[in-house]
Structure 1
């Protein structure tokens, strides 16, 4: 039987994670994309405003997120006429394992002039199955089309991706939910390190969104830089098929697996 979604709602603010949320670092814990997208959903439903959009979202991973039933809830921290600050929490057994904050900005009544859109390469390329070290529930539940690079090729990468399943059972994911679910994979596709020897885990993700993406597919043009003395940094330009929609950044914990 095919599990129909990444999350199954059980009651108000209570969601059960499915195997599709599983990440590559430990089979008992989630990839950052599905829980991050769930927190974005909760912020979108908190005192919603049609004249506003989420312009910046920061996800802080406070501990490993288990594949189990969790509580996700949001609140409006700073209401305002033009800008609002929200935050959301993902709790397990009374402890917050993931925190999100988001600035919601009012859309202009008159569109400002803008330069010609920065367009990505056309959606193309063959779908690749994850290698054993990358094989996990989330990567099997997402479709990948690499234009440049791959999970097994060191260095920067450019790839199109989409969710195979709804984020929430019986519910279409919003554009912002699709964007955050994709952006958390930027470090994985662009790392210069071999996952068999190294960990390069992001404890956070910050996403700046220019506009809601259109359609199911998200394109990431991702680069990771490392210094031998310090931490890693992944940055990515994010596109839909109509042009640039935002940028993301992730700090990376680097450690040898030996």
Structure 2
């Protein structure tokens, strides 16, 4: 099976065209939110005024489904500063904004040895390393080339294909934008929106549980080839749910994510 080499192809007009690797699980014409989240992060770092800074909080609002096709992103520094700044980026199709990111970035300094010791003492969220975890492909995508092929998935606990909490490792199989290696933070954003997918509390065939937002808070940047998340979805019983995940790399935890889910019965064909 030959896969696209990137999630997005850059256009001559400054926009991007999504490849089939962005296709989500609910509709083959719509993107999974992970790839556009990473594209918005890329733009936030591009317009940032703090060179080499650390992105510490990312708040995404998903205003509408993003079609598989041409998209544009724009960004601006809302609150400039030498030490901290607030950056906003927007993804649009035509004139319609479909996803928005508000990101706080900070100036960094050399790693504090005391902080490194505390980090090393914290238990790792994954019970197994990537090499000992189980490779798995989700059964609920309706086309073989889609979002799930952009990453290699290995499960330390739980499963794509059974309900309940799960802990999974991922590594990249593609570039974000053609011609550019995917950075660890971009990889993290491509992965993290799938937290509610790996920890699904309902049957994919009978219910939809799409998220309307994504929040990521990081105490340090991700590093290395393998990144992962330990995710749990909590149903509210009223058509709303929340998904929470601990994010990590091979050295240990790096932060947390949250998603608000809109739950409803799935229309039967």
SS of the residue 1:167 aligns to: strand
Counting only pairs closer than 5 Å after superposition, residues 86-235 of structure 1 correspond to structure 2 as: 86-108=87-109, 111=112, 113-114=114-115, 115=118, 116-119=121-124, 120=126, 121-123=128-130, 124-133=132-141, 137-235=146-244
- Residue 52 of structure 1: CA displacement? 2.0
SS of the residue 2:35 aligns to: helix
Gaps of 5+ in 2: none
Aligned counterpart in structure 2 of residue 255 of structure 1, from 258, 264, 268: 264
Tell me what 2:73 maps to.
Answer: 72
Q: Please, which moves more after superposition, 41-50 or 191-200?
A: 41-50
Deviations along 1:42-87, one digit per CA (max 9) or x if unpaired, are: 0011134235210000111111100111111211110012210001
- C-alpha contact (below 8 Å) 1:130/1:140 kept by paired residues: no
Q: Distance in 1 between matches of 2:142 and 2:178?
A: 25
Q: Please, which moves more after superposition, 214-223 or 16-25?
A: 214-223
- Residue 32 of structure 1: CA displacement? 0.5
| Structure 1 residues 211 and 12: CA distance shift in structure 2, 3 A | farther
TM-score (norm 1): 0.94
Tell me what 1:243 maps to.
Answer: 252
Q: Which runs of 4+ in 1 moved over 3 A?
A: 132-136
- C-alpha contact (below 8 Å) 1:145/1:160 kept by paired residues: yes
TM-score (norm 2): 0.90
- Residue 133 of structure 1: CA displacement? 4.5
Supply the RMSD in Å over aligned alpha carbons: 1.7
Deviations along 1:93-145, one digit per CA (max 9) or x if unpaired, are: 11111111100022245627332243233112232222144656001222110
- C-alpha contact (below 8 Å) 1:62/1:96 kept by paired residues: yes
Q: What is the count of residue pairs matched by the alignment?
A: 258
